[in-house]
């Protein structure tokens, strides 16, 4: 039992000798021990890579080559591959979508906690409808929101005459519709990956003129806007974060090399700045534009890319122009997904 009068530096020294998973058992001893253990675990958390493909999921710490396995929620274990997609993750909470029935699930891989999100009445999860999702927050980090943009498909891709947007607040446990999505957008694939940065969600889309743009949603004011690509004649583009800012890896039609761009500023004063050109490891023939997660899977905030190249998971350092192979436990299959993930004791009862 933790004595609340014991100096915290001594307690932390004791806790540091115990595996973090075991510490979770002692959180129920008292409110003081719950706070102390949670703060300790969160202070020791590092950015890791979560691979979602076969069972179990893998959590990879690329700095010490450690691999942890976590069992996914039993509600999704019966499904495999790209039928289960991770929408996003914040503070250790992962949001997943079940492609068979459209269920949205909150999941903390570290604690094993899981919770279903109530369905919205407009959620008709049929093959003729498409959905794009996002996960983030506006003013405060405790007001988490799940965004669902949906519309009917015309049979030639995720495109419709009308887009609708519904937002679920984890604080109020309710869905609300946003009425200011006035333009029509084409979302590539059924589960278009979003990027959350500093209160905004971003998606790669095409507008009604089939012009490629970045769709942004201000989660504080619930207002949509468009951002132009960083360069002209963009052939392929991938969004992510770089040192806490929105970034884009772009390939132009007249340039054989991919380039890393970062957006600076806020509001109407946003501007793109080129960071560097990338190596031939990202040569065009190695990346599938349609099934883009099958090769370039995610961009890590510290300036690295996680790739599935020829069946191997590769981490490419964009700044040092170096790469290494990551040892994994599972064989590679279609639909492998990777996200940047931070372990935490975050509760799903927000």
Q: Which residues of 279-312 are buried (b: 16+ CB within 10 A; e: fewer)?
A: eebbeeeebeeeebbbbbbbbbeebbbbbbbeee
Structure tokens at 199: 């209160």
Span 41-63, average pLDDT? 74
pLDDT tens sequence across 131-158: 889 999 988 888 899 999 887 655 544 4
- What integer pLDDT is reported at residue 190 of this predicted model? 47
Edge-first strand order for the sheet with 66-70 is 66-70, 57-61, 47-52, 337-342
pLDDT tens sequence across 92-111: 899 988 766 778 989 988 88
Give, in order, the Cα–Cα distances in Å from 197 to each of 215, 260, 278, 346.
13, 17, 23, 20
- Sign, CA torsion 34/37/39/42: negative
Residue showing tokens 């906690």: 113
- What integer pLDDT is reported at residue 293 of this predicted model? 38
Instruction: Name the DSSP class of 348.
Output: S
- What integer pLDDT is reported at residue 279 of this predicted model? 74
Q: Decide if 308 contacts 295 (C-beta within 8 A).
A: yes
SS3 137: strand
Q: Decide if 93 contacts 350 (C-beta within 8 A).
A: no
Q: Decide if 91 contacts 344 (C-beta within 8 A).
A: yes
Low-confidence winner among 120-129, 186-195, 207-216, 217-226 (lowest mean pLDDT): 120-129
95: number of Cβ within 10 Å: 22
Low-confidence winner among 34-38, 201-205, 290-294, 343-347 (lowest mean pLDDT): 290-294
Q: What is the pTM of this model?
A: 0.83
The answer for residues whose C-beta is within 8 angstroms of residue 194's C-beta and 6 or more apart is 87, 88, 132, 133, 134, 135, 147, 201, 202, 203
291 confidence band (pLDDT: 50, 70, 90): very low
Q: Where are the domains of the chain?
A: 1-44, 45-342
Q: What is the DSSP string of 260-319?
A: EEEEESSGGG-EEEEEEE--GGG-GGG--STTGGGTEEEEETTTEEEEEETTEEEEEETT
Instruction: Name the DSSP class of 25.
Output: G
CATH of 45-342, one of 1.10.486.10, 3.40.1080.10, 2.40.50.100, 2.120.10.80: 2.120.10.80
Span 332-348, average pLDDT? 78
Q: At 287, give phi and psi (nearest 5°).
A: -120, 130
């Amino acid at each position: 039992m933790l004595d609340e009068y014991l100096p915290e530096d001594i307690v932390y020294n004791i806790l540091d000798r115990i595996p973090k998973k075991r510490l979770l058992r002692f959180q129920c001893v008292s409110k003081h021990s719950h706070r102390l253990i949670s703060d300790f675990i969160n202070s020791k958390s590092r950015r890791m890579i979560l691979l979602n493909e076969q069972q179990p999921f893998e959590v990879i710490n690329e700095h010490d080559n450690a691999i942890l396995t976590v069992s996914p929620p039993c509600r999704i274990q019966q499904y495999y591959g790209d039928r289960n997609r991770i929408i996003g993750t914040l503070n250790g909470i992962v949001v997943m979508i079940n492609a068979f029935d459209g269920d949205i699930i909150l999941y903390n891989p570290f604690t094993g906690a899981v919770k279903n999100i109530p369905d919205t009445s407009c959620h008709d999860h049929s093959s003729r409808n498409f959905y794009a999702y996002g996960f983030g927050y506006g003013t405060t980090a405790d007001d988490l929101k799940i965004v669902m943009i949906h519309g009917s498909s015309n049979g030639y891709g995720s495109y419709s005459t009308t887009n609708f947007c519904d937002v679920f607040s984890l604080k109020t446990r309710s869905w609300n519709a946003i009425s200011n999505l006035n333009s029509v957008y084409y979302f590539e694939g059924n589960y278009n990956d979003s990027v959350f940065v500093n209160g905004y969600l971003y998606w790669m889309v095409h507008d009604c003129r089939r012009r490629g743009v970045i769709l942004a949603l201000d989660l504080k004011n619930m207002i949509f806007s468009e951002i132009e690509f960083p360069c002209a004649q963009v052939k392929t583009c991938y969004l992510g974060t770089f040192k806490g800012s929105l970034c884009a890896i772009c390939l132009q039609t007249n340039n054989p090399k991919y380039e890393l761009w970062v957006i600076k500023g806020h509001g109407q004063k946003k501007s793109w700045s080129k960071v560097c050109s990338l190596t031939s490891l990202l040569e065009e023939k190695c990346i599938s534009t349609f099934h883009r997660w099958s090769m370039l899977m995610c961009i890590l905030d510290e300036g690295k890319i996680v790739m599935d190249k020829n069946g191997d998971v590769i981490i490419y350092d964009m700044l040092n122009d170096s790469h290494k192979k990551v040892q994994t436990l599972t064989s590679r299959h279609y639909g492998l997904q990777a996200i940047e993930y931070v372990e935490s004791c975050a509760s799903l009862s927000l």
